[in-house]
Structure 1
C-alpha cells in the first residue's frame, strides 16, 4: 500500500512523523491538494469509519493523511479527493500525546489504518523508525485486532462504541 501525506508544514519539523517517513522513503509528501493522489483519506471528520471493506474500494492501494498541527486540523482542511474515512477509537503512544485518545501522529494514523486493512507487517515497518512505535501497537492491540475483524464500517462503529462506553 502506498502512503501519501498532504503536508502543511505548520508543526515542529523535529517532531514531524510524516517528514521522518519521507526521509526513509516510507511515504511521499505533497505540498498541494492537486499533487496529492486519490486514495483513502484518513479524515477525523469523515462520516464513515475505516474498515477492512475499504481495502477493495476504488481508492484501495493508496492511503492519504493530512499532516498539520492539531490547531489547524479543522474540517475545511480536508478537501482532498478520495474516499474519506475516520479512524475508530485508539490511544496515542507518541511522547507528546501519550495515552490520549484520538490524538494520533501521522505515522500512528497510517499504522492503525494499515492494521485495520490487514497489512500489519507494513504497519510494523513504518512504526519501527520510532522508539515508541511498538508501544502504539501494544496499547491498541485488542481494538486494532477487533476492528480488523469487522466486515464493514457499521461493525467498526459498534465496536468503537464499546470502548467509548467504558
Structure 2
C-alpha cells in the first residue's frame, strides 16, 4: 500500500516519525493539500471508523503530520475518504499508554493492520525502538478490528474497549 503524509512541519524534526519514514523511503511527504493524493485519510474527526471494507477505496493511505495542539478539524481538508482510527493506545515515549494520542507512524501502522497489511505495518514500525511495543500493546484490539466487516462492527468493538476505560 502506498503511504502518504500531509506534512505540516510544526513538530520537532528530530522526533518526527513522518520524516523518518520518508528518509527510509517508506512514505512520501507532501507540503500542501493539493499535492497530497486521494486515498483513505486518517482523520480523528471523521464520522466513520476505518475498517477492512475501506480496502475498496484504493491502495493509498494518507495521514496528517502536525502538532496535537494544532490538529483541529479544519486541518483535515485533504481529498479522500476520511476515516477515524478506533480506540488504540500509544507506545511512543511522549504519549505512552495514552489512548488516541498516536504518532503518525503509529496511526499509519494501525491503519495498515486494519486494512490487512500487517507485514507492511511491521516494516514501518521496525524503524522505531518502540515500534514493536505498539503492536504488542494493541494486539487484541487490532486483531479484532481487522476481523470486522465494516465501520459499524469496528465501532461496536471499540465501544467494548471504551466501556472498560
TM-score, normalization by structure 1: 0.98
Provide the C-alpha distance between the structure 2 equivalents of 1:31 and 1:22, rounded to a whole number of angstroms. Answer: 13
Partner residue of 1:67 out of 62, 65, 68: 65
SS of 1:83's equivalent in the other structure is: strand
1:56 Cα deviation after fit: 1.2
Per the alignment, residue 147 of structure 1 pairs with 145
Per the alignment, residue 159 of structure 1 pairs with 157
TM-score, normalization by structure 2: 0.99
1:17 Cα deviation after fit: 0.1
Per the alignment, residue 8 of structure 2 pairs with 8
Provide the C-alpha distance between the structure 2 equivalents of 1:96 and 1:115, rounded to a whole number of angstroms. Answer: 23
**Residue 35 of structure 1 pairs with residue 39 of structure 2:** no
Counterparts of 1:28-107 in structure 2, within 5 Å, are 28-57=28-57, 60-107=58-105
SS of 2:148's equivalent in the other structure is: coil
1:65 Cα deviation after fit: 0.3
Provide the C-alpha distance between the structure 2 equivalents of 1:34 and 1:75, rounded to a whole number of angstroms. Answer: 18
Unaligned runs of 5+ in 2: none
Give the length in aligned residue pairs. Answer: 164
**Residue 125 of structure 1 pairs with residue 117 of structure 2:** no
Give the aligned CA root-mean-square deviation in angstroms: 0.3
Structure 1 moving runs of 4+ over 3 Å: none
SS of 1:4's equivalent in the other structure is: strand
